Structure 1
Amino acid sequence: MDSALTRKYCIMTTAAANILRLSFDKLGLSARAYDKVLRVARTIADLDGSDVIDTKHIAEAVQYRSLDRKFWKE
């Protein structure tokens, strides 16, 4: 899924967008990481049966990204 499709299909609540923005500001993640986290959040929302990405989906996706950085960063 490219960036255009990510923006088209990864619809999130305003609160979720704020959480995502704050997370990226705090963690200093890139635009590429933004798309990856958003796609993971979309998958989590799908598994939860939700049409819209909510704060809990973003929080879980950011946690996975934080774990990834913790264990793979040299």
Structure 2
Amino acid sequence: MFIGLNPVSYNKLNHNSNNENSKTIRKRVEKARIIQRERFKNEGIYCNAQMNIKLLKKYCKLDKDTSSIMEKIYMKFNLSTRSYSRIIKVSRSIADLKGNKKILKEDLIEALQYRRFIEEKII
């Protein structure tokens, strides 16, 4: 997963904050990777990015509210099947990083924020 970042201001660099350190983030990523390996141990893949449509439907079910949001985005921005799949896979990865069994509305919204084309069309 790649995301674009804006430059950090000097004030933010010198401000003491409670942000996660690299070690903590690394542990979360390692846990998420274990979750994914376990999930896919009998599927012939090892991570969310490798899911095909069949596995996407099996492991990335959305609840009614989350599905409604995805449908609105899909229709509004005329998404391709590939774009839809990528957004759902990123949502699943975000949920894994948070330790969520299900993809929550918040996970989907966060995944949508990483999609450059949506930002460009909104602005």
Q: TM-score w.r.t. structure 2 length?
A: 0.52
| Letter of the structure 1 residue corresponding to residue 108 of structure 2 | I
Alignment of 1:30-41 (within 5 A): 30-41=80-91
- Alignment partners' CA distance in 2, 1:64 and 1:7: 22
**Aligned equivalent of 1:5, options 25, 47, 55:** 55
Q: Which has the higher contact order (CA 8 A, sep 6+)?
A: 1
Kindly indicate whether the alpha-carbon contact (under 8 Å) linking 1:10 and 1:52 is maintained by their aligned counterparts in 2. Answer: yes
Kindly indicate whether the alpha-carbon contact (under 8 Å) linking 1:15 and 1:54 is maintained by their aligned counterparts in 2. Answer: no
Kindly indicate whether the alpha-carbon contact (under 8 Å) linking 1:16 and 1:58 is maintained by their aligned counterparts in 2. Answer: yes
Q: Gapped runs of 5+ residues in structure 2?
A: 1-50
Map of 1:56 onto structure 2: 106
Report the CA distance between 1:60 and its aligned residue: 0.9
| Count of residues in correspondence between the two structures | 69
- Alignment partners' CA distance in 2, 1:23 and 1:44: 18
| Root-mean-square deviation (Å) | 1.4
Q: Larger Rg: 1 or 2?
A: 2
Map of 1:15 onto structure 2: 65
Which of structure 1's runs of 4+ aligned residues deviate more than 2 A? none
Q: Gapped runs of 5+ residues in structure 1?
A: none
- Alignment partners' CA distance in 2, 1:27 and 1:64: 15
**1:9-53 deviation digits (Å, cap 9, x = unpaired):** 112211111000111111111111111110000000111111111
Identity %: 35
Q: Which structure: greater helix fraction?
A: 1
